[in-house]
Amino acid sequence: MTRVGAIAVLLFVSSVCVASGESYIPGQRVEGDFDSVAQPFLVRHCVDCHGGTDPESGLSLEDLGPVDEVNAATWKSVWAQVALKEMPPEDVDAPEVIERLKFSDWIVGELTQAMRDKGGFHAYLDPDKGNFVDHDLLFGQLPEGIELVPTSTPARIWRVTPQEHLTRLNELINTEPAYDPKRPGLRTHGDAVPTNHGGELKLYFGTDRIIKWQGGTVAYATAVKSVPAVLSTARSHGLENYPDFYTVNSAEATQILSIAEDIIRYMAYGPLSIAEPYQITDDPASIADKWKGDIRGLPTSIVYSTKVVRPITPVYDLMNEEGVSDERIRAAVDYLFEALTFRPPRPEESDRYLAIVRESIDTLGKEDGAVLGLSAIFLEPDALFRPELVRYGEPDPYGRVMLQDWELGLAVNHALRYIRPDEPLRQAILEGRMRTREDVRREVERMLADDSIRKPRILQFFRDYFDYDLGGYICKDNRALADTGVTIRGTSHYRAMFDATASTDRLVELILQEDQDVLRQLLTTDLVVATKNDNVYFGRRRTREEVAASIAEAKRRAAEAAKKAAAELEAWKKANPGKEPPKPKKPPRDNTNHKVEPVNLKGPRIFARVSRRSFGNGSMKPERTLATAPPGQRMGILTHPSWLVSHSDAMDNHAIRRGRWIRERLLGGGIPDVPITVDAMLPDEPKSTLRERMRVTREEYCWTCHQKMDPLGLPFEMFNHAGLYRTTEQDRPVDTTGEIIDSGDPELDGEVADALELIERIANSERAEEVFVRHAFRFWMGRNETLNDAPVLQEAHRAYRESGGSMKALLVSLLTSDAFLYRTPGEPHTVRDRK
């Protein structure tokens, strides 16, 4: 039989199987090779357009063979197009649902196998590709023939995040204030260590004891002992905390050991481990004679109070009492082990570290030996990773094992917190009361109901979901930034953006506190948490005519003031003949910002959670105003400067990035990766509007994808790239029109006048809620959803809707689901170095 004849037979058999109601379990291994699975699909649905001498988009699939390293990029593109239902187009023979699923799963399996020893194939695991799973199949009625199996999550090992790691270390050397219900926005014990005003994630030693320093804030900044975040992240936006993303490399391990020594010495001696004894005094004047010469920027430029504020632990007892006993060593070992791993050591673990510390002391002496020996605990695997390997428990008929005891308790704790389990949860684990779904429900509901239990993981989800915390890291061209109307003095803009992130954090918390219609409130609220700088950032960029009128008015006022001063001087001379007239007063400097019409954001005083003092007077301030945004100009987080600047670039807005965000995060659509053959650059035309420059994306080759992004991002042209509201661009009325295309919900589709209409329409849609639930699932499960997770997602959405849009109800549903509770043993889904 010829090859063509064989393909014809396969096509006939395939059509018979599909027509006869073939069943399929999504995600299962697809048996068959290229000839039996892929070739029939390509011939039936693809090669008519992607074959011959003039294939569509220049891509010919006629000679595409089995998956290998050489053609992997082409197969990845085919997978994306088929999974997203971009191809085959609607006007050709469309594959049946099962046929499409099988073909997509086959490609993933083949790519995974072919690339196993060549860097691997991970695209389908990336949260940006989570939307490749058909939304209608997840939340709608499954067609006949698709069989779901009870879901679970692969056994895996999670590396702790940089935020979680630093927060753990912070617990060892700093005491944070208890929750104050009168000032709920202030930093509280259990909150994550926030970035400083320069956007750095650092842990500082003893800053709450510093009472004076010599040489200004620069000296302070260079003299303060600090620990930077050592564990790296592989992503700059979106959901970050997937087990598949991260590992700990040797360089990071070496840094952790160095940090461990500093921390242990500080636990034992306090500031004496980083300062001279004379620097610890309540009377800085008493050491004035020590401050001779130029000591700016040196550790000796700082004075510490005598007050002890760090935790006093068994490490202190070991290092400050004479002699060495196994009892003291074991107490320090056990304390440090649980502080770093969040669980008590097993007897063999305690014995092992006791022997390590004892041998180190015998070799190096007590102080250096204890420090070196205890430092080893900082590299204990459970101090850097959280295993979910279900080594205990019996598999159910589907091969799933439920987490239990410490694995389950720490999974629940990690879902909400960055510090060790509180006493009720710890006791529940020790007493065997963390083994059932109801046990999890009890602890989750208890922690969610207690505001004094800080839950930074919830806030981190909203940061990852909205991506509003990137504004301070967008490096702006000074000239372009100055044209927006904001000040470019020093680092003022970047500090304003880090302030804006803290303000948006606080707004999210206020809406979570009400816990009703959470997503819609975040998208449509008129509330603003603001600093004084926000009177400009929430203001309106004046037109050229208004700027000219403002400057003219300032000149008129200056001329009138000069005329008045001259008249007063003449009057004085007449009244005082022969006397020397006084020197004329220098006219006050005109600080008017002619480019901006500021707003006056008024309201009650509240507080935002900012970093502890790290750079003296340069630190962010917690005081904020809870105000109302200018009506008709702002609506929800997507119109706040924190989000707008986070989705801009150095010179201008980024309508494509904003449109993609809305397509993926609110509408649940997916966008294939940009082909490497595409020069994704807009023309450099300073006199053209962004919309005009984006004409290149309307070329046939580009518009297939860009029509789903650009019309969603362009309505935000009503704001400039510093987040100010504007009515003109390039001295012409700004065009804010846009359109929702192929959203998946016909009632959503259609033209919009501006960003406010776009947001309002999407915020009222059920689809946006469902997509929000999908992202919450990814964040708390640490993986992408599959079709087998459909019952979990539908139940979570039902809980959200029936509770009136409660985030707490959504979390209880997700954290008591099979996807959260069950693991499939076998080869663990381990971390990989994705850098």
Question: What does DSSP say about strands 738-740 and 750-752: parallel, antiparallel, or unpaired?
Answer: antiparallel
List 823's β-bridge partners, or say none: 153, 401
Overall average pLDDT of the 727-751 stretch: 95
User: Which residue from 85, 81, 158 is spatially nearest to 123, judged by alpha carbons?
Assistant: 81
Question: Across residues 241-268, what is the average pLDDT?
Answer: 93
Residues 6+ apart with CB under 8 A from 830: 156, 157, 243
The C-alpha torsion from 77 through 80 and 85 to 90, rounded to 10°, is: -10
Q: Decide if pLDDT at 148 tops 90.
A: yes
The pLDDT > 70 percentage for the chain reads 94
The per-residue pLDDT for 220 is 80
pTM for this entry: 0.93
- Per-residue model confidence (pLDDT) at position 217: 75
pLDDT of residue 539: 97
Per mean pLDDT, which of 29-38, 327-336, 684-693 is the most reliable?
Answer: 327-336
Distance separating alpha carbons of residues 481 and 493, to the nearest angstrom: 9
Residue 48's pLDDT band, with cuts at 50, 70 and 90, is confident
Residue-wise over 778-795: b if at least 16 C-beta within 10 A, else e? bbbbbbbbbbbbbebbee
Q: pLDDT at position 23, please? A: 81
Beta-bridge mates of residue 157: 387
- If one compares 237 and 88, the residue with the highest pLDDT of the two is 237
Using CA atoms, how far apart are residues 643 and 501, in angstroms rounded to an integer?
Answer: 9
* Helix, strand and coil in the chain, % to nearest 5: 50, 10, 40
pLDDT for residue 697: 84
Assess contact for 123 and 834: CB atoms under 8 A.
Answer: no
CA distance 802 to 805: 7
Those residues with Cβ within 8 angstroms of residue 496's Cβ, 6 or more apart along the chain or in another chain: 486, 531, 533, 537
Asked whether the predicted pLDDT for residue 833 surpasses 70, the reply is no
Dump pLDDT digits (tens) for 12-30: 344 434 444 568 898 888 9
Q: Which residue type, as a one-letter code, is found at position 486?
A: V
In this prediction, residue 728 carries a pLDDT of 96
Looking at residue 831, its pLDDT comes to 37
Residue 676 pLDDT class (50, 70, 90 cuts): low
Contact indicator for 163, 418 with CB cutoff of 8 Å: yes
Q: How far is 324 from 321, CA to CA, in rounded Å?
A: 8
Lookup: tokens for 264: 């242990």
Average pLDDT over residues 597-616: 85
- State residue 424's pLDDT score: 98
Mean pLDDT of 675-684: 74
Residue bearing tokens 């922690």: 447
Distance CA 570, CA 576 (A): 10
Question: Is 90 exceeded by the pLDDT of residue 316?
Answer: yes
Q: How far apart are CA 835 and CA 115, in angstroms?
A: 17
Tell me which residue has tokens 């890291």.
473
Instruction: Provide DSSP, 259-319.
Output: HHHHHHHHHHHGGGGTS-GGGB-S-GGGGGGG--S--TTSGGGEEE-S---S---HHHHHH
pLDDT band (50, 70, 90) for residue 677: low
Stronger pLDDT, 427 or 7, i.e. the higher one = 427
Cα distances from 60 to residues 5, 8, 532, 706, in angstroms, run 22, 20, 59, 22
Indicate the length of the chain as a whole number.
835
pLDDT computed for residue 11 by the predictor: 40
DSSP 653: B
The answer, yes or no, to whether residue 835 has pLDDT greater than 50, is: no
Average pLDDT for 736-749: 95
